[in-house]
Amino acid sequence: MGLIRYRLVDGTEYLEPNPAILTTYSSTPNSADLFDCSDQGVFHTDAMFGLLLAESSTTSGFILTNRRKIRVTDFDSNADYNIKRIDVINDNILDIGNLSTSSHTISGNLGIGTYNFQVTKTLSNGVSSSYSIVFVLHRSTTTIANDSGEEICVGNIVNFNIDTDDAGIGQNYRGSYYTIDFGDGSNIEPVSYTHLTLPTIYSV
């Protein structure tokens, strides 16, 4: 639970718990396929969980029902809790409604994407607090193809194509980083590209 700093007229300061502060966490275990960067009762600026090794046809139902839950820390039955789902890629917001228990089960029909779940806790006096947790369901595809001829002379420029469509890296997590290794024993390309800065054509 968070703390509020109070300052009296005489300058004295003291801290008291803020009953409106909340955090959420997931019930997804860390495994070979799944990951969870959230903890019960702990504030994280990067509270994320999900699957980054999906196939193009994978839906959120791939994760067992009891493992795709968002849970509220220190659930207060006297407060109101509202939850919204924000589809980051398709830029739309769904107001799921109010929570009557301390957990919410994520729908099993979500496709590849990044989804922010925002929970807002409101006390009877109107004081509220919001916290977001991110559910990701993405592929981890790396595609690179030679756009030049098969026979290449030393010193010639070679173009490599990186497919950014869904068949390529288009369904990868947008926060991914990429490095380039040509497999010839030379040093790995020192630049780490982000999903947005990765060039579609790379020349060497």
Could you tell me which of 157, 171, 166, 167 has the C-alpha nearest to residue 201? Answer: 157
Model confidence over 44-55: pLDDT tens digits?
A: 888 999 999 999
Residue 109 in this model has a pLDDT that exceeds 90: yes
Per DSSP (E only), the strands in the chain are 3-7, 13-17, 24-26, 34-36, 48-51, 69-72, 80-87, 92-98, 103-105, 113-122, 128-137, 145-146, 159-161, 177-178, 193-194, 201-203
| pTM attached to this predicted model | 0.80
Q: Tell me the pLDDT tens digit for each residue of 181-194.
A: 767 777 776 567 77
Domains of the chain, first to last: 3-137 (2.60.40), 141-204 (no CATH)
Structure confidence at residue 1 as a pLDDT band (50, 70, 90): very low
Alpha carbon distance 154, 29 (integer Å): 50
Confidence tier at 179 by pLDDT (50, 70, 90): confident
Give the range with max mean pLDDT: 68-77, 143-152, 179-188: 68-77
Q: What is the pLDDT of residue 46?
A: 87
| pLDDT tens-digit series, residues 19-66 | 556 889 999 999 988 999 999 988 888 899 999 999 999 999 999 999
CA atoms within 13 A on the CB side of 111: 6
Which residues are within 8 A (CB) of 183 and not within 5 positions of it... i.e. 6 or more apart? none
- Structure confidence at residue 19 (pLDDT): 54
What is the reported pLDDT for 135? 97
Judge residue 68's burial from the number of C-beta atoms within 10 Å of its C-beta, 0-12 exposed, 13-18 middle, 19 or more buried.
buried
Residue 6 has pLDDT above 70, yes or no: no
Collapse the DSSP code of 100 into the 3-class scheme (helix H, G, I; strand E, B; otherwise coil) and give the result. Answer: coil
- The more confidently predicted of residues 189 and 171 is 171
